[in-house]
């Protein structure tokens, strides 16, 4: 039986099912990779903060991301990484991946990219990152997160 996400209330409603602490394990060229993501409401519930840690062999790679409405009220994200990089983007459609996908697109130095979250059939959720090509979207990261 497929897992169904219920959309929460308000501007942050699409992110309601992500609140919590999650872990994914994935094979990588350096060996087994562990990634944790913690989503929590902050600043009086006006924003959702994501703290993410990639446990790499050399050192952890950290990200802090804030999701919330921009000045015009549209849902956006602002991300800051431990390597000094930054990105920001907007809520977009990810229905081509899953009917309940939460998708954010961003214009990056290498072109348009998107990250997607969607429910797993049994437990947790999937997270993927894709780049825009002339032929469509090219997936280069895909993780399955389970509750921690």
Answering whether pTM is above 0.75, one says yes
| Contact criterion met (CB below 8 Å) for 89 and 104 | yes
Higher pLDDT, 7 or 119: 119
Average pLDDT over residues 112-127: 96
For residue 2, tell me if it sits in a domain. no
For residue 33, tell me if it sits in a domain. yes
CA 10 to chain centre: 19
Count up the domains in the chain and report the number. Answer: 1
Average pLDDT over residues 6-17: 92
Cα–Cα dist 146/139, whole Å: 20
Containing domain of residue 96, as a range? 13-147
**Which of these, 36, 58, 60, 57, lies nearest to 127 by C-alpha position?**
36
pLDDT of 74 higher than 50: yes
For residue 7, tell me if it sits in a domain. no
pLDDT of 44 higher than 70: yes
For residue 92, tell me if it sits in a domain. yes
pLDDT of 1 higher than 50: no
Quick one: pLDDT at residue 56?
A: 81
**Which of these, 52, 59, 60, 56, lies nearest to 36 by C-alpha position?**
52
pLDDT of 45 higher than 60: yes
Quick one: pLDDT at residue 2?
A: 54
**Which of these, 102, 93, 96, 95, lies nearest to 126 by C-alpha position?**
102
The secondary structure element, H or E, covering residue 75 is strand 75-81
For residue 81, tell me if it sits in a domain. yes
CATH of the domain at 98: 2.40.128.20
For residue 6, tell me if it sits in a domain. no
For residue 8, tell me if it sits in a domain. no
């Amino acid at each position: 039986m497929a897992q169904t996400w219920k959309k929460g209330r308000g501007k942050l409603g699409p992110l309601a099912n992500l609140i919590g602490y999650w872990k994914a394990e994935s094979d990588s060229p350096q060996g087994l990779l562990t990634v944790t993501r913690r989503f929590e409401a902050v600043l009086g519930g006006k924003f959702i903060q994501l703290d993410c840690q990639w446990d790499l062999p050399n050192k952890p790679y950290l990200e802090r991301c804030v999701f919330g409405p921009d000045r015009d009220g549209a849902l956006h994200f602002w991300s800051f990484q431990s390597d000094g990089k930054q990105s920001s983007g907007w809520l977009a459609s990810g229905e081509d991946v899953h009917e309940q996908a939460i998708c954010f697109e961003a214009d990056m130095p290498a072109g348009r990219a998107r990250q997607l979250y969607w429910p797993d059939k049994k437990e947790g959720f999937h997270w993927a990152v894709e780049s825009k090509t002339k032929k469509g979207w090219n997936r280069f990261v895909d993780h399955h997160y389970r509750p921690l």
